Structure 1
């Protein structure tokens, strides 16, 4: 009987099996790396979109935010503004403790040695410190919260400059709004009254204040300061 010749084996060799296992692991690793790369790209893209959105909101808010009114230093030249009362305080003495003032709110006179930092306050501020700020050329804008609505207050704020102004509530003011500078005062009913602007043009940083241009920062922040 003739012998049957050996046939080549169809089973992979041990070497081939190991190579196949290595190839499978490499393919799995590459697939995982591709998945991680896609995830990173999605995360980076989402982050960029978020940053762009935030920047867009900031730019929009800056563009749409109301700009402070702009005035030049007043010369108190005597422009006729209907309703303005004037006084004759020559200067003030630095005193400790409360001061009795003739006007409400005061428009000059003795005052505390520490001036009030200019800005917007949500609570009443001390007369004696605010008067010191008037001495430096600031305008003190007071309003009666019982007579001025939130919308009216917002409208009033658009008329104010960015510096040398104090805005604060004042209980029992006797008038909805009172503008005070050193030796000058104007009582108003409506924040839209054009005399608001006229008063600032005449008395803001007036050269006739006792110490025009002296600091209106770096001293006292009274309670309730918001800006």
Structure 2
């Protein structure tokens, strides 16, 4: 029979009451210390979370203020769109304006126009969408747009720089205007409306605004208030 080994004494238990009291007190102190350490750790974690919330609030508010500042700046510094009252179709008082008499029939194919660029005449049944174009556009469609009250501004691409084009665009309303290059012009810039035309010396010619005032959306054209969108685009449409 295998002998039973003697039991090991419990180091936390003492037969001496005074010693046992000290052991018990030490265990309570350790538990209290552990409790305090856990409490301190919890308080540190809580403070950390609070700091994170404050940081995110600060970041969020700063971001919102930045967005508001950008919106305000964009409104403040964006140029206001140019507008003109609808013209009365009479620009005869503008120096250099020529006026003509043209027919207004819808036809197929190309048309030989008496003016360059054309200011009216027979034209395609589909109008050209009013916009800025980087390439020449079909005469027959552009003339139909003139019939609706649009103004067609053509320029000699060899005589007009990018800065000149920006200067022109800054003077234009957002609709009922066509801007495009045109081959064979005898002036740097030529403005055409239905049965009216003006040759300009350059992009800083003050008569540009005068012509737009007289002929933009004129009510004397064959089809006043006709649309200038929703039909056909020419090549090189930009806007």
TM range (shorter): 0.7 to 0.9
Give the root-mean-square deviation of aligned CA atoms.
Answer: 2.5
Deviates more, 1:179-188 or 1:148-157: 148-157
Alignment of 1:133 with 2:134, yes or no, is no
Decide which of 16, 19, 26 is 1:12's aligned counterpart: 26
2:172 to 160, 166, 191: 160
CA change 1:18–1:219 in 2 (3 A) is farther
Q: Is the 8 A contact 1:85 1:186 kept in 2?
A: yes
Query: How far apart are 1:45 and its partner, in Å?
Result: 2.1
Q: Is the 8 A contact 1:73 1:204 kept in 2?
A: yes
TM-score (norm 2): 0.80
CA distance in 1, matches of 2:161, 2:216: 25
Q: Give the match for residue 112 of structure 2.
A: 100
- Would the aligned equivalents of 1:92 and 1:108 in 2 still touch at CA under 8 Å? no
Specify whether residues 96 and 30 from structure 1 end up closer, same or farther in structure 2 by C-alpha distance, changes over 3 A only.
Answer: farther
Unaligned 5+ segments in structure 2 are: 1-15
Q: Secondary structure at the match of 1:28?
A: helix
- Which secondary structure does the structure 2 equivalent of 1:50 belong to? helix
- Kept in 1, the 8 Å contact 2:83–2:173? The answer is yes
Give 2:82's aligned residue.
69
Q: Which moved more, 1:177-186 or 1:61-70?
A: 61-70
Alpha-carbon shift at residue 20 of structure 1 (Å): 4.4
For residues 70-95 of structure 1, give each alpha carbon's deviation from its aligned partner in whole angstroms, at most 9, with x where no partner exists. 211111235321111211113231x3
SS at match of 1:120: coil
Map of 2:69 onto structure 1: 56
Q: 1:66 to 1:208 in 2, by over 3 A?
A: same
Aligned pair count reads 222
Q: Distance in 1 between matches of 2:79 and 2:105?
A: 36
Q: Are the aligned partners of 1:130 and 1:140 in contact in 2 as well (CA < 8 Å)?
A: yes
Unpaired runs of 5+ residues, structure 1, are: none
